[in-house]
Amino acid sequence: MNGTFLGMPAFPQAAARAVRDGQLRANLRHATHTIRDKRARAVAELPDWAELRAAGKAIKDHTLRHLDRYLVQLEESVTAAGGTVHWAADAEEANRIVAGLIRATGDSDIEKREVVKVKSMATQEIGLNEALAAEGITAYETDLAELIVQLGDDRPSHILVPAIHRNRAEIREIFADRMAAWGRPAPESLTDSPAELAEAARLHLREKFLRARVAVSGANFMVAETGTLVVVESEGNGRMCLTLPRTLISVVGIEKVVPTWRDLEVFLQLLPRSSTAERMNPYTSLWTGTTEDDGPSEFHLVLLDNGRTAALADQVGRQALRCIRCSACLNVCPVYERAGGHAYGSVYPGPIGAILNPQLRGTSSPVDASLPYASSLCGACYEVCPVAIDIPEVLVHLRERVAEQGGHPLERAAMAAAGYVLDHPAALAAAERLAGRTRALHPRRLPGPGRAWTDSRDLPEVPAEPFRDWWRRNRA
């Protein structure tokens, strides 16, 4: 498994369906505009935001250049603190490790068949819930938005707000229809009031928190010098998962490591303002190994590669590994606002998904080959990124990779012909004169693969006289 939503078409086809959904577009427009406006106000409060952003970029770049050293240091620190570190090269290995750890814990059969989860992009990336279900193990999502997605048999469509494509009425319907199948039913008098929806979720999850003996989490950051893991969240469900169960299993991408606590301080300022537009997260949970009679008695850290070292080898594309999953780029992207997250065919949607997915999964599938083109290259994503990922630069770089792997035969022939003409001035001058003399015969729309381009754009009119000839005549 590689995080691809099975059966998803390429981005253009998926987006074409999404833009015809008026309710989806209204939900996305309201949510993204609200979040990005709040973020802008929160960032404006800090006079040194540009310096913080530069510091975050520098720390991430330094860490990625020396990733091998800091990962070894992290393993040593976690082990010294009483934890156990496992290395997973891909999704299959990570899922096998986690399932084995769950089966090895618990005193009763039911304790070996269910876990509670903190919102984790990495576990969604590897399809952990589905892999555990195949082993007879149920994973209960405890983040409110993830719970909505799980109960609705849906897919996440946003990094920060996975159920952003749902409105309150739709959420109330999901709770009323599906909650009983997963445990405690929703109250019969449930309305779409946010307070009532949150209370219904709280009552539904409480028994699971108290009963579960195993929790699965991700982590926003890992501190190499002490082996400390960090989860930031807004609801308190993470704190419950990280403290109540006997066994805690954290699945984390290898790029999430930072060298020191001093480095962590920079990101604890950047992340909340860029994601939830808060000065600090309501819950910032940190744990280092295990402590007797306090929290889980067993801690396992699964370090996930799953394509990350391949991305690290790309000098242009590696900057995507700086990402701290704040989702600021999604909230300003005009393409995401209109197409939504499902069109990207992955748990990583939006601009960051358009550069991360093709690097983690390759560009051999139609979905991944189409993602570098899922952008207008307006640059808004780069302007708001708290670690200065130049997403437009990476998109163009990946488009080059896709083109080199081969596209439509006519497209390849056209590009080869254009390359020859542009490389030979005499041929270019002859082509310009021929185009000017035959301009009355030019079509208003391109045929074949170019048809999609001219469906919404006019072809520029060719002048009667090429500029080169005009310049030569007037200069004389």
Q: Is 159 helix (H, G, I), strand (E, B) or coil?
A: coil
For residues 318 and 308, give the distance between their C-alpha atoms in angstroms, rounded to a whole number: 9
- The continuous run of DSSP H or E covering 92 comes out as helix 91-103
Residue 411, class by beta-carbon neighbours within 10 Å (0-12 exposed, 13-18 middle, 19+ buried)? Answer: middle
Residue 237's nearest CA partner among 141, 120, 138, 142 is 142
Residue 218, class by beta-carbon neighbours within 10 Å (0-12 exposed, 13-18 middle, 19+ buried)? Answer: buried
Residue 378 backbone phi and psi in degrees, to 5: -70, -25
Residue 452, class by beta-carbon neighbours within 10 Å (0-12 exposed, 13-18 middle, 19+ buried)? Answer: exposed
Residue with tokens 């929703």: 186
For residues 427 and 320, give the distance between their C-alpha atoms in angstroms, rounded to a whole number: 41
E strands present in 199-293: 214-217, 221-223, 228-233, 247-253, 257-258, 283-288
Contact 197, 183 (CB under 8 A): no
Q: What is the pLDDT, as a whole number, of residue 4?
A: 52
For residues 67 and 84, give the distance between their C-alpha atoms in angstroms, rounded to a whole number: 19
For residues 249 and 240, give the distance between their C-alpha atoms in angstroms, rounded to a whole number: 14
Instruction: List beta partners, residue 222.
Output: 229, 257
10-residue mean pLDDT series, the chain (476 residues): 61 91 91 94 96 98 98 98 98 97 76 86 96 95 94 93 92 95 90 95 92 95 98 92 94 98 97 94 95 92 98 97 97 95 94 96 92 96 98 96 77 82 91 88 79 78 89 84
**DSSP assignment of 52-86, as one string?**
HHHHHHHHHHHHHHTHHHHHHHHHHHHHHTT-EEE
Q: Is 374 helix (H, G, I), strand (E, B) or coil?
A: coil
Q: What is the pLDDT, as a whole number, of residue 184?
A: 87
For residues 331 and 35, give the distance between their C-alpha atoms in angstroms, rounded to a whole number: 7
Rounded to 5 degrees, what angle do the CA atoms 146, 151, 156 make? 40
Instruction: List beta partners, residue 45.
Output: none
For the entire predicted model, the pTM comes to 0.87
- The continuous run of DSSP H or E covering 138 comes out as strand 138-141
Tens digit of each residue's pLDDT (9 = 90 or more) over 324-337: 999 999 999 999 99
What 8-state DSSP symbol labels residue 294? Answer: B
For residues 397 and 109, give the distance between their C-alpha atoms in angstroms, rounded to a whole number: 51
Amino acid symbol at 20: R
Contact 205, 197 (CB under 8 A): no
Cα Rg, the chain, nearest whole Å: 25
For residues 158 and 36, give the distance between their C-alpha atoms in angstroms, rounded to a whole number: 14
461: which 2 tokens?
């009119």
For residues 194 and 178, give the distance between their C-alpha atoms in angstroms, rounded to a whole number: 18
Rounded to 5 degrees, what angle do the CA atoms 377, 382, 384 make? 130
Residues in the chain: 476
What 8-state DSSP symbol labels residue 326? Answer: -
Q: What is the pLDDT, as a whole number, of residue 106?
A: 62
- Euclidean distance between the first and final Cα of the chain, in Å? 67
Contact 350, 336 (CB under 8 A): yes
What 8-state DSSP symbol labels residue 340? Answer: -
Tens digit of each residue's pLDDT (9 = 90 or more) over 61-115: 999 999 999 999 999 999 999 999 999 999 999 999 999 999 998 656 666 689 9
For residues 152 and 365, give the distance between their C-alpha atoms in angstroms, rounded to a whole number: 27
Q: What is the pLDDT, as a whole number, of residue 108?
A: 60
Instruction: List beta partners, residue 249.
Output: 216, 300
54: which 2 tokens?
């530069």
Residue with tokens 């790029």: 255
Q: What is the pLDDT, as a whole number, of residue 134?
A: 95
For residues 368 and 358, give the distance between their C-alpha atoms in angstroms, rounded to a whole number: 5
Q: What is the pLDDT, as a whole number, of residue 317?
A: 97
Residue 133 backbone phi and psi in degrees, to 5: -60, -35
Residue 182's nearest CA partner among 163, 201, 165, 161 is 201
Q: Give how far the C-alpha of residue 352 lies from the chain's centroid of Cα atoms, to the nearest Å.
A: 6
